[in-house]
């Protein structure tokens, strides 16, 4: 496992800030009536997807996102233009306007199209890992999911199957301690999700999800294990969501107390990394400004890009339900 360089940490800072600013812009676009997507902001939990996705190979490894993994798309190599094009549901976007930007698949970037159901994504990652094992490469699969998602049966079936079959998959839980309005105490009796790993005979690791370096290190270790054929790991990153479940939430603090919220608001992952970088003199105000300006420019340009792309047409509704081979004789 390689140690993170200054350059790596600055990149991670960039990805976290990009995600936050991108989603803030999405919020503005929604209010302005320019987009339709029901935004699931990841504000407050950016370090989890950035730290974890940074620990896998950008091109060759495979990732299955959760509904709140936008940062992972950027780290995995989707550029800002491509993501914004999908936000605008353009005809030319990665889903041809058929899916929301937070569910996208891209084979070229090792991103598996995820499901719209919370907790149905694990078997997709298990299957991907199975294919990788069959191909005898050292590639790994990564699966993202939240705390609420672990209450589904597919969680059990998939971790069980992955461990029995010794598959190269890392399960990364973005435990933001709430599922819509239901706090974690309403979701499970034992709130240490990583402790379930024992039941599956796999290592379970619990890490501070606000510390992007700690997330990276824990996940990188798990990835290394998977790559060596030592099977799956469950990594639980404890984090917090500073917004509602979706953008349409007037009372988005429901299910959480003011003290709890304030405690976690003080532990902003971007501030934590920034503070560390400044203290180690790995970043200064000039560099910070440069990154902020770069992000603003990239986002503004991506909107111009997306708006220049063609809108979907009525006939697009009917395409890609089946491949054309279905009606031809196969002998």
Partner 1 sequence: MPKKTYVVALNEALGEEMERDESVFLIGQDMKRGAFTVTIGLEGKFGSDRVINSPLSESAIAGACVGAALMGQRPVGEIMFGDMLTLAMDQIVNSAAKARYLYGGRNHAPLVIRTANGNMGRGIGPHHNQSFEAMFAHVPGLVVVMPSCAADAKGLLKAAIRCDDPVVFLEAKSLYRIKAEVPDGEYVLPLGKCDIKREGSDLTLFVTGPTVNKALKAAETLQAEGISVEVIDPMTIKPLDIATVLKSVEKTGRLVIAEEANRTGSFGSEVAATVAEKAFHALKAPIGRVAAPDTPIPASMFLERVYMPDETKIIEAVKAAMK
Nearer to partner 1, 104 or 212 (CB): 104
In the complex, the smallest distance separating the C-beta of residue 17 from partner 1, rounded to whole angstroms, is: 29
Nearer to partner 1, 163 or 187 (CB): 163
Please choose, from the candidates 140, 301, 280, the residue with its C-alpha nearest in 3D space to the C-alpha of residue 224: 140
In the complex, the smallest distance separating the C-beta of residue 212 from partner 1, rounded to whole angstroms, is: 28
In the complex, the smallest distance separating the C-beta of residue 28 from partner 1, rounded to whole angstroms, is: 27
CA atoms within 13 A on the CB side of 241: 29
User: Interface residues with partner 1 (CB under 8 A)?
Assistant: 62, 64, 93-99, 103, 105-107, 112-113, 115-117, 120, 122-134, 141, 153-154, 157-158, 160-161, 164-165, 319-323, 325-331
In the complex, the smallest distance separating the C-beta of residue 117 from partner 1, rounded to whole angstroms, is: 6
Instruction: Give the whole-angstrom CA distance, residue 43 versus residue 300.
Output: 20
Nearer to partner 1, 289 or 319 (CB): 319
What stretches of 93-232 adopt beta strand conformation (E)? 141-146, 169-175, 178-179, 182-183, 204-208
Nearer to partner 1, 41 or 109 (CB): 109
In the complex, the smallest distance separating the C-beta of residue 219 from partner 1, rounded to whole angstroms, is: 20
Beta bridge partners of 111: 63, 106
Instruction: Give the whole-angstrom CA distance, residue 239 versus residue 204.
Output: 17
219 alpha carbon, distance to own chain's centre = 14
Element containing residue 246 per DSSP (H, E): none
In the complex, the smallest distance separating the C-beta of residue 276 from partner 1, rounded to whole angstroms, is: 37
330 alpha carbon, distance to own chain's centre = 40
Nearer to partner 1, 286 or 329 (CB): 329
Nearer to partner 1, 164 or 313 (CB): 164
Cα end-to-end span (Å), the chain: 51
Nearer to partner 1, 130 or 291 (CB): 130
String of DSSP letters for 42-95: -TT-HHHHHHHHTTS-TTTSEEE--TT-HHHHHHTT--HHHHHHHHTT-TTSTT
In the complex, the smallest distance separating the C-beta of residue 114 from partner 1, rounded to whole angstroms, is: 9
Pairing of strands 178-179, 182-183: antiparallel
């Amino acid at each position: 496992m390689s140690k993170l360089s200054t350059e790596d940490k600055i990149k991670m800072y960039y990805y976290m800030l990009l995600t936050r600013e991108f989603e803030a812009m999405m919020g503005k676009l929604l209010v302005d009536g320019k987009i339709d997507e029901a935004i699931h902001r990841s504000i407050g939990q950016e370090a989890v997807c950035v730290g974890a996705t940074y620990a896998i190979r950008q091109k060759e490894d495979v990732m299955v996102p959760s509904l709140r993994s936008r940062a992972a798309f950027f780290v995995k190599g989707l550029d800002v233009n491509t993501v914004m094009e999908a936000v605008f549901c353009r005809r030319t976007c990665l889903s041809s306007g058929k899916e929301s930007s937070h569910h996208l698949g891209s084979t070229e970037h090792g991103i598996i199209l995820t499901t719209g159901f919370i907790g149905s994504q694990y078997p997709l990652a298990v299957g991907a890992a199975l294919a990788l094992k069959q191909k005898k490469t050292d590639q790994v699969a990564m699966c993202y999911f939240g705390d609420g998602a672990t209450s589904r049966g597919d969680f059990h079936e998939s971790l069980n199957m992955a461990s029995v079959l010794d598959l190269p998959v890392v399960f990364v839980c973005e435990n933001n301690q709430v599922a819509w309005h239901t706090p974690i105490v309403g979701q499970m009796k034992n709130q240490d999700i990583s402790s379930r790993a024992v039941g599956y005979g796999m290592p379970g690791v619990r890490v501070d999800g606000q510390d992007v370096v700690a997330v990276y290190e824990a996940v990188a270790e798990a990835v290394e294990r998977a790559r060596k054929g030592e099977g799956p790991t469950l990594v639980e990153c404890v984090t917090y969501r500073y917004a509602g479940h979706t953008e349409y939430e007037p009372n988005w603090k429901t299910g959480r107390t003011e003290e709890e919220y304030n405690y976690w608001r003080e532990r902003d992952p971007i501030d934590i990394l920034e503070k560390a970088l400044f203290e180690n003199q790995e970043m200064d105000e000039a560099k910070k400004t440069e990154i902020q300006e770069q992000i603003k420019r990239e986002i503004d340009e991506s909107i111009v890009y997306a708006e220049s792309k063609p809108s979907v047409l009525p006939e697009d509704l009917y395409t890609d339900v089946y491949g054309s081979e279905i009606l031809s004789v196969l002998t």
